[in-house]
Amino acid sequence: MWKEFKTFIMKGNILDLAVAVIIGSAFKSIVTSFVKDIIMPPIGVALGGVDFRDLTIELVTTTDEVAAVTINYGIFLQTIIDFLIISFVIFMVIKGYNKMQRKKEEAPAPPPEPSKEELLLTEIRDILKQAK
């Protein structure tokens, strides 16, 4: 069982997937910071000084016994923008990859090596040309 597991883990696709997951999570952190710290503040200023983190709908008000229950739709909007940016980048990467694959497929394959019969016939032809 251990050998089978080791063979499974050592396959190139699994290692590539692990690297992709790690890079993807780092990329998500960058995009989240980009949206939260760079994109949303100017949008908030353009909308009259709105901080999207504060956009909520209060379902239950705060009392001494109960904390407020809110729907945080501003944070949800930021998450949607994160998703759209990440989805667009992934789309562009896959589009570029597919374009490269098509170019590889369209590249002409080198001609196959001539068979022994073809080589022999070529030699005969050349000898006949020289004999004339």
Q: What is the reported pLDDT for 9?
A: 67
At 81-122, the pLDDT tens digits run 988 998 898 889 889 988 888 887 777 778 888 899 999 999
pLDDT at 69 over 80: yes
Domain boundary assignment for the chain = 2-131
Whole-number Å distance between alpha carbons of 22 and 96:
21
CATH number among 1.10.1200.120, 1.10.10.10, 3.20.20.70, 1.25.40.10, domain 2-131: 1.10.1200.120
pLDDT tens readout for residues 38-62: 988 898 888 888 888 888 898 888 8
Give the predicted TM-score (pTM) of the model.
0.59
Distance CA 5, CA 7 (A): 5
Question: Cα–Cα distance between 115 and 73 in angstroms, integer?
Answer: 71
Q: What is the structure's pLDDT at 124?
A: 92
